[in-house]
Structure 1
Amino acid sequence: MSTASKFDMCHQVSKSRPPGAAGWQPPRPKMSGVGRGRADMINRYRTITLLASAATLPLGAQIAFAQDARPADDPVQVSGGLDVIVVTARKRTENLQDVSASVSALSQAELARRFDSDVRDFASASPNVIIDDTQQGPGGVAATTIRGIGVADVEKSVDPAVGVVLDEIYLGTSSGNLVKAIDIDRVEVLRGPQGTLFGRNAIGGVINLARSRPTDELTGKLRATYANYDTVEAEGLVSFPLTEWAAVKFTGAYRQSDGYIFNEFYNQDGQRSEFTALGVQLLLNPTPNLELSFSFDDQNTRQDPPQLHNLAKPSDLFCAVYGQCRVDLTTPQSGDRYVSVSNGPLNKNAFFDMNLGIARATYDLGSDLEVNYIYGRMETDEGITQDFDGTPLTLYDTDRPAVYHQDTHELRLSKGGNGPLTFVVGGYYWDSAYTIDLVSYIGFAIPGTILAIPQTVRQTTKSYAAFFEGDYKISDRLTLTLGGRYTHDKKTSGVNDYGFGPNDNLDNPEEADWSKFTPRASLSFDVTEDVMIYGLYSRGYRSGGFTGRPTTENTAKTPYEPETVDNFELGFKSEFADRRVRLNASAFLMKYKDKQEDVDVPAPTGTGRENRTINASSAELKGIEIDLTARPMDSLTFNANLGYLDAKYKEFIADTNNDGILDDNSGLALRRAPEWNWTLGATYEIAVGPGEFWVSGDVHYIGAHEISFLNNPSLRNDGQYLINGSLNYQINNTQISVFGRNLANEDGWTIGYDVQGLWSYGAARPPRTYGVVVTQKF
């Protein structure tokens, strides 16, 4: 392919996109508009940036799917204006401004100047997004909420409500979903149901991550970080060609930290961790029309179990009988949210190991048609003995060894080009299984006695889907988009529990299946070349299933049903002031039906507690979202977003305490659904001596919100101002930075859980962190 033809491809991505800088990719013919995205973007990458942050992931952990049209050190600009951002939110390559949906994106250039630790740090880039670590297991257990829709549970039986997608592979559990920020090229946050192209379990939205690709010359990056709490990080990437049609990339990362929790019971640091990651990607172009890609990543975490805090109120058993009480309404038993009194083991006995393999094949059929096949396999192995009561006594501890695997296959045909019709059509298959050999150590039932109560749960999921989405240009300005996805899910659940006696069904599991159609329709109109308005309807679907922590036989064998969300949205995309200002906004109304609620209730057997999932409620969520980027001068850039959310239950009639009485719980507030949230940031850069100096900072406000299901005031968060900043200096390929996160030292809760009648527990967000980073590119 000639350099000129590569530039032609760039122009076809968007009418506002200028030619990009030359770069290499194994030879390929001119690709169709839908499928050319990956090749187009790679053609412009002559260097691979290893985005590092205060953490690391082997998976090439974060990959972001919203990318700049050029490398971070040479961004594409239009007439001195804002960088053009290319996204693949609809499994096709488009200018962000041409997508008729709510999408926020971080370009490669923006990512290179941030100090993100993991996926949690991307929340500030989009309105109405909260991402927390539940601290309920090893390796990072995500509680991700978009527009007030999300889940916070460690059990793999609980499907995510927000999808995290890494290199086009959906990560099917909350465990391991806090992907580390390493080797990131693009980040997209898709708000609202994504049931057509991303399928089930994306009813709140999707966080789409994409990594860099191998290069045609020897390139690389090394980054070293030292931060408070004796945190040391090292990350590296190297890429080089093997032949004229083959290239390879290697990545590696290491992180160790003493953690930000001090354990008074043992008089030592209480949340130490060590993380290692290795990855390799091979890119082949054996023929002009065929591209093959293979990648494998291995990550390993060794850590102390997360330290949880006891907030038992006077009427709770742990306080009334055992004297283990909170200090006051919002202060845990230890007297400090960063001090633990837990007697759980602290010898880095918790581990989380993950392998991810991905194979891709792309074939250009000509006539703007392209076939893509993506296969992914993820395996995890984890173990942890954790003190959930958070006290110096052994009242409620668990040992949770678990294994999980998932296999996914996706085959799709794409049509691009400049004709009136473009589309994506395909099929999808999912196969996953997990087994947990849980042992609960109960010390509150019989004073002076610790009961070890074992339970094994094994669940499987198989899912088939067919999908279609197409655009039809009714006129040069008016475009109609129609799409739909048919999904069929089948799940099994087997339990071995001594409390069930002869009715254990581990080898003869219960089965259930569900089918659902999730449509999508939008109409967009180009008011001018730089202003587009749109209307959108979409539906999301979250699968039914079986409870993963049953105590009674009835709960173990009774499935819960799917839930759905219908989204109605109006929005506009605009650029003005010679494309120095980009302003996007949307207003939405979402109707949540058959909402799955996880309730913890007393039980007559086993541990005396039971977690049940019930379809007991409906809700309505409406709001406004605004994204603004402005570059008033070449040296100064502002970024801002604003989210307003009105999230309320419409009806919630259920027995939430197992007393046999149906109660009206409609007055409860949805969790992680603040009314207001916003971010305001700026970057100023200037030439100083032989190099470039820049300062960046942002304030991310999260309004008051509930964390616990029962809206426990002890676990309620007031408004929080999360302030981040950095000072940076770069000479040639060497960069030195000083950064700080959460500079106001906000200590809001990231998890809150009420074990009714016994106690409540919580964990706080990471406190103020700061450090020095040295980055060397070659």
Structure 2
Amino acid sequence: MINRFKAVTLLATAAAFPMLASTVSAQDQPNNEVAEDTGALDQIVVTARKRSENIQDVPASISALSAFELNRRFDSDVRDFADSSPNIVIDDTQQGPGGVAAVYIRGIGVADVEKSVDPAVGVVFDDIYLGQSSGSLMKAIDIDRVEVLRGPQGTLFGRNATGGVINLARSRPTYDLTGKARATYGRFNTLKLEGVVSGGLTDNVAVKVSGAYEESDGYFYNEFYDQDGQRSDFFAIGAALLIEPTDSFSLLFSYDHQETDQDPPQLLAINRDTDLFCVAFDQCSPAPGVPTSGDRYVSIGDGPLNKNASFEFDMAIAKATYELGSDFQLDYIFGWLKTDEEITQDFDSAPLTLYHTDRPARWRQTTNELRLTKGGTGPLTFVMGAYLWDSRYTINLKNYIGFAGPTLLTSAQDVTQTNKSWALYGEADYELTDRLTLTLGARYTDDKKTSLVNDGTIFFYDNFDEINPFLVIEPSLATGQIVMTEPVEESWSKFTPRVSVSYDVTDEAMVYALWSRGYRGGGFNGRPSTIGAATIPYDPETLDNYEIGFKSEFAGGSIRLNGAAFLMKYKDMQQDLDVPAPGTSTGRENRTINASSAEFKGVELDLTARVNENLRFNGNIGYLDAKYEDFFGDIFSTGTPVDATFLDIRRAPKWTWTLGATYETEISDNATAWVTGDVHYIGAHEITFLNNPNLRNGGQYLIDASVNVRFNDTTVSLFGKNLANEDGWTIGYDVQNIWSYGAPRPRRTYGIAVTQTF
């Protein structure tokens, strides 16, 4: 399938190039470029509050990248947007196909592959919330705007946005013929082709078509098979149709299809001398923090490497907009998302079959949103709406266990969970005076979840071929297995308010104060081994955010400086614990419990400056102090709860900062050159819940740079990413006393790109 699509994509890209003779695309116009007549920075328009407004007028912590900035970057996916905002960490957990996002803002997030675990940071794509971590590392194809909203967004975005929201928006179809194509070749034999073309079919109908293809040998070497260990093929195609029958009414339809075929992500075992896999199977780390392979980019796992992992993504979106007059606008937004994935993964990371899994999973979600907005310049502006959510996922898990006594034990488990949710929300600004504005917002959410779990037959073999089992155990509660005839069900509801006040000190400076509440839904464990863990739900968690901040521009508008200080209080914080489950096939299970309260406080600054017509600087800095306040639990799986407040919270570095610069100059009448680079620092932080020192990250300096020359409508670029070759862990997990595993960030890469616009 991928090969057929590859051919189609290459032909489509080749067909587009003969048309590259028109004027420069609107997508390549400098939306945020410095105005030549005044030297001031252009306005940044955001839709963070579900209406278009200047970022400097929004009383909240927001960072943004415009289309102009995005066109000059070499982002691969959502991970690359982390440097645009302070106090944010984004990683791929490498625990599934298609990219499994671990997005943390201000120390709040989730790094779990199970779809039963709701995200804590929302990834919103063209107004559609992506309800699972798998597939949330959206590729940077035709992205027109990136907004990072820090702090709980419980009013406008609802549940599961306690840490914040990453809001991605694509360009609308244009009536003028416009387009862009980019071909990139980089290290690890990575080839990437991307293209987007838009134009009018009639005076009131426009269409846009986009496509991408990427293949790579990957940055891992598998010593067991003596071959590259993380090869991948990616294909995407999308189309959007804009219909505007009248000046006041429009319809926008889009459909996107993506496919990934890849080797299963390569994990690394980091086993201590006392771990079972070291003691019984001689799979020991040669030194603390060193994987059993001896190298963070060398795997010795014996899992299959024939691109047997696949991820398919399909999304349909329909939007209807009606201008009612008197600054009123009515929007209806429908979203449908389907993902299908298959993977057989080697979690033990050894040249033995100790713990492998086969994890085919399916996800479906449907959303409906009706929104009424009042804009304009009057004293009252608002947005209010109603929201419906319906999702369902199924996983058919099969475990291959070689450490439980016999040569091989296989067990299976089927899990189906559903979630139906509805909400009513509203947020309004009222100008008390010309300079003083009060904002009030609220959302009421009602959730209902179900879960059905059934264990399959357990087989014991004296061989790895799964032939002639010498013992078979059929599913039965009497043998400690999970058998359910009907799903369990639980409902929750939550009211999440927001209050803020802002004051325009001058026309160029504003201060604000806000209180907001976030809510992450309760649920059922998606990886249980006992009937209790399968049927007893965990409760929602809530987060209150107290924040003061400012927005400012000075030096004739050539410098923009925004900042905030915050204090966030967690209640009923959900924690994932690996605990013993004696008498079960795996002997362990993962449980989510409401174990703790926590406090997060910090400071953030965002800076953009134009020094002169050639030189620009951008930077941000974030400080975070995150700690448990009350946490009492059986964290060591001894059966005895202990005070666990001594643990550091995962993925919560004290310091993050970015410093970047761009120097641009004309080198002839029709040629421009620019050099750009940035350093993104992520401070030392824990990766594992129990703060395993072998999987702890020190400070990391992620350095990216590019040299670019544009001749008319053609740009040639040399680029590098992670030039310091930082190899920090992006995932770490402890199966207590048995083994631990992790995966490093991608290695240094570099390449050449040719971009054509028209």
Please state how far the C-alpha of 1:46 moved relative to its aligned partner: 8.2
What are the Cα deviations for residues 476-530 of structure 1, in whole angstroms up to 9, with x where unaligned? 0000000000000000000011486258555510000100000000000000000
Match of 1:770 among 729, 750, 758: 750
Alignment of 1:231-630 (within 5 A): 231-447=190-406, 449-498=407-456, 501=476, 504=482, 507-604=485-582, 605-630=584-609
Distance in 2 (alpha carbons) for counterparts of 1:74 and 1:46: 15
Q: Taking structure 1 as reference, are residues 78 and 445 closer, same or farther at Cα in structure 2, changes over 3 Å only? A: farther
Unaligned runs of 5+ in 1: 1-44, 51-69
Q: Give, as a single letter, the amino acid of the residue that structure 2 aligns with 1:392.
A: P
Match of 1:656 among 629, 635, 638: 635
Q: Give, as a single letter, the amino acid of the residue that structure 2 aligns with 1:658.
A: S
Q: Give, as a single letter, the amino acid of the residue that structure 1 aligns with 2:91.
A: D
Q: Give, as a single letter, the amino acid of the residue that structure 2 aligns with 1:574.
A: S
Conservation of the 8 A alpha-carbon contact between 2:32 and 2:41: no
- The aligned residue for residue 13 of structure 1 is none
Distance in 1 (alpha carbons) for counterparts of 2:30 and 2:25: 7
Conservation of the 8 A alpha-carbon contact between 1:134 and 1:142: yes
Kindly indicate whether residue 55 of structure 2 is the aligned counterpart of residue 96 of structure 1: yes
Distance in 2 (alpha carbons) for counterparts of 1:576 and 1:699: 25
Aligned partner of residue 724 in structure 1, secondary structure:
strand
Please state how far the C-alpha of 1:331 moved relative to its aligned partner: 0.7
Match of 2:67 among 98, 105, 108: 108
- The aligned residue for residue 35 of structure 1 is none
Q: Taking structure 1 as reference, are residues 226 and 725 closer, same or farther at Cα in structure 2, changes over 3 Å only? A: same
- The aligned residue for residue 7 of structure 2 is none
Please state how far the C-alpha of 1:310 moved relative to its aligned partner: 0.5
- The aligned residue for residue 167 of structure 2 is 208
Conservation of the 8 A alpha-carbon contact between 2:177 and 2:198: yes
Distance in 2 (alpha carbons) for counterparts of 1:731 and 1:670: 50
Distance in 2 (alpha carbons) for counterparts of 1:288 and 1:580: 36
Distance in 2 (alpha carbons) for counterparts of 1:527 and 1:79: 23
Distance in 2 (alpha carbons) for counterparts of 1:656 and 1:570: 36
What are the Cα deviations for residues 143-198 of structure 1, in whole angstroms up to 9, with x where unaligned? 00000000100000000000000000000000000000110110000000000000
Conservation of the 8 A alpha-carbon contact between 1:544 and 1:560: yes
* Farther-moved stretch of structure 1 (496-505 vs 510-519): 496-505
Please state how far the C-alpha of 1:47 moved relative to its aligned partner: 3.1
Q: Taking structure 1 as reference, are residues 77 and 557 closer, same or farther at Cα in structure 2, changes over 3 Å only? A: farther
* Farther-moved stretch of structure 1 (549-558 vs 216-225): 216-225
Please state how far the C-alpha of 1:214 moved relative to its aligned partner: 0.8
Q: Give, as a single letter, the amino acid of the residue that structure 2 aligns with 1:462.
A: K
Q: Give, as a single letter, the amino acid of the residue that structure 2 aligns with 1:132.
A: D
Distance in 1 (alpha carbons) for counterparts of 2:37 and 2:162: 35
Q: CA RMSD in A?
A: 1.3
Distance in 1 (alpha carbons) for counterparts of 2:174 and 2:610: 31
Match of 1:725 among 670, 689, 705: 705
Please state how far the C-alpha of 1:78 moved relative to its aligned partner: 7.3
- The aligned residue for residue 154 of structure 1 is 113
Please state how far the C-alpha of 1:446 moved relative to its aligned partner: 1.1
Distance in 2 (alpha carbons) for counterparts of 1:73 and 1:360: 27
Q: Give, as a single letter, the amino acid of the residue that structure 2 aligns with 1:470.
A: A
Conservation of the 8 A alpha-carbon contact between 1:147 and 1:192: yes
- Normalising by structure 1, what TM-score? 0.91
Match of 1:666 among 615, 624, 645: 645
Q: Give, as a single letter, the amino acid of the residue that structure 2 aligns with 1:631.
A: R
Conservation of the 8 A alpha-carbon contact between 2:476 and 2:483: no
What are the Cα deviations for residues 740-775 of structure 1, in whole angstroms up to 9, with x where unaligned? 000000000000000001000000000100000000
- The aligned residue for residue 714 of structure 1 is 694
Conservation of the 8 A alpha-carbon contact between 1:283 and 1:292: yes
Conservation of the 8 A alpha-carbon contact between 1:563 and 1:595: yes
Aligned partner of residue 476 in structure 2, secondary structure:
helix
Distance in 2 (alpha carbons) for counterparts of 1:312 and 1:634: 55
Conservation of the 8 A alpha-carbon contact between 1:602 and 1:657: no
Conservation of the 8 A alpha-carbon contact between 1:500 and 1:553: no
Distance in 2 (alpha carbons) for counterparts of 1:609 and 1:161: 25
Conservation of the 8 A alpha-carbon contact between 1:629 and 1:637: yes
Q: Give, as a single letter, the amino acid of the residue that structure 2 aligns with 1:377.
A: W
What are the Cα deviations for residues 554-609 of structure 1, in whole angstroms up to 9, with x where unaligned? 00000000000000000000000000100000000000110000011121112111
Conservation of the 8 A alpha-carbon contact between 1:500 and 1:552: no
Conservation of the 8 A alpha-carbon contact between 1:75 and 1:109: no
Distance in 2 (alpha carbons) for counterparts of 1:761 and 1:484: 42
Distance in 1 (alpha carbons) for counterparts of 2:376 and 2:120: 34
Match of 2:667 among 677, 684, 688: 688
Distance in 2 (alpha carbons) for counterparts of 1:48 and 1:177: 28
Distance in 2 (alpha carbons) for counterparts of 1:342 and 1:629: 46
- The aligned residue for residue 466 of structure 2 is none
Distance in 2 (alpha carbons) for counterparts of 1:336 and 1:749: 13
Q: Give, as a single letter, the amino acid of the residue that structure 2 aligns with 1:734.
A: T
Runs of 4+ in structure 1 deviating by more than 6 angstroms, as ranges, are: none
* Farther-moved stretch of structure 1 (544-553 vs 106-115): 106-115
Alignment of 1:72-221 (within 5 A): 72=31, 79-221=38-180
Q: Give, as a single letter, the amino acid of the residue that structure 1 aligns with 2:549.
A: G
Q: Give, as a single letter, the amino acid of the residue that structure 2 aligns with 1:770.
A: Y
- The aligned residue for residue 460 of structure 2 is none
Please state how far the C-alpha of 1:76 moved relative to its aligned partner: 5.5
- The aligned residue for residue 654 of structure 2 is 675
Please state how far the C-alpha of 1:657 moved relative to its aligned partner: 3.5
Distance in 1 (alpha carbons) for counterparts of 2:205 and 2:634: 61
Conservation of the 8 A alpha-carbon contact between 2:499 and 2:516: yes
What are the Cα deviations for residues 602-651 of structure 1, in whole angstroms up to 9, with x where unaligned? 21112111000000011000000000111010110000100000000001
Q: Give, as a single letter, the amino acid of the residue that structure 2 aligns with 1:326.
A: S
Distance in 1 (alpha carbons) for counterparts of 2:32 and 2:104: 33
Conservation of the 8 A alpha-carbon contact between 2:437 and 2:501: yes
What are the Cα deviations for residues 359-392 of structure 1, in whole angstroms up to 9, with x where unaligned? 0000011111110000000000000000001010
Distance in 2 (alpha carbons) for counterparts of 1:619 and 1:524: 28
Q: Give, as a single letter, the amino acid of the residue that structure 1 aligns with 2:435.
A: R
Distance in 1 (alpha carbons) for counterparts of 2:602 and 2:150: 12
Distance in 2 (alpha carbons) for counterparts of 1:393 and 1:334: 13
Distance in 2 (alpha carbons) for counterparts of 1:79 and 1:687: 19
What are the Cα deviations for residues 677-729 of structure 1, in whole angstroms up to 9, with x where unaligned? 10000000011133000000000010000000100000000000001000000
Q: Give, as a single letter, the amino acid of the residue that structure 1 aligns with 2:332.
A: Y
Percent identity, aligned pairs only, is: 65
Q: Give, as a single letter, the amino acid of the residue that structure 2 aligns with 1:518.
A: T
Distance in 2 (alpha carbons) for counterparts of 1:230 and 1:358: 35
Q: Taking structure 1 as reference, are residues 429 and 46 closer, same or farther at Cα in structure 2, changes over 3 Å only? A: farther
Distance in 2 (alpha carbons) for counterparts of 1:217 and 1:117: 28
